[in-house]
Structure 1
């Protein structure tokens, strides 16, 4: 909900919004005309099952760490994507966002 309106407004016509978390609350307001006229697609996605979440929590409790290959500012997403597309990374690629 905290970023919902901005996320919807940022979509181009025919854009797709994938919602994969709701840490700031379970409900949002939706401007239906914007949805209709921009032909927006909204997709809900889980990050895994409850069983998978429990397994990941156990791994973290055991001290398993994720290997980060590189961290990029959000403005350099194209460079990060190119690295992924060429299979050059060894571990996760992290995009950071600072500011408003």
Structure 2
């Protein structure tokens, strides 16, 4: 299961991580988000110990969504060393996300 990331934990979990981080910005009312969510959960299990995989509910946590210009959801950002190195807006195949992680490992 992907980690629930909040505005309060974002800096510690995402920006200070020594591993690649995948963050799914989503909302409960968003249909496409419900398609991406299970894929993100699968990736979280498969990359356990190799990458950090989490989700930010944009309705409850708007600070970092705004900071990184997330205007459409789902948006999946890939971070390395606290910097955004990848961005996928909308639904994409699982391979799109795993390729982004693999490139950083």
Q: TM-score range by the shorter chain?
A: under 0.3
Provide the TM-score with structure 2 as the length reference.
Answer: 0.26
Higher strand content, 1 or 2: 2
Structure 1 or 2, whichever has the larger Rg, is: 1
Higher relative contact order (CA 8 A, sep 6+): 2
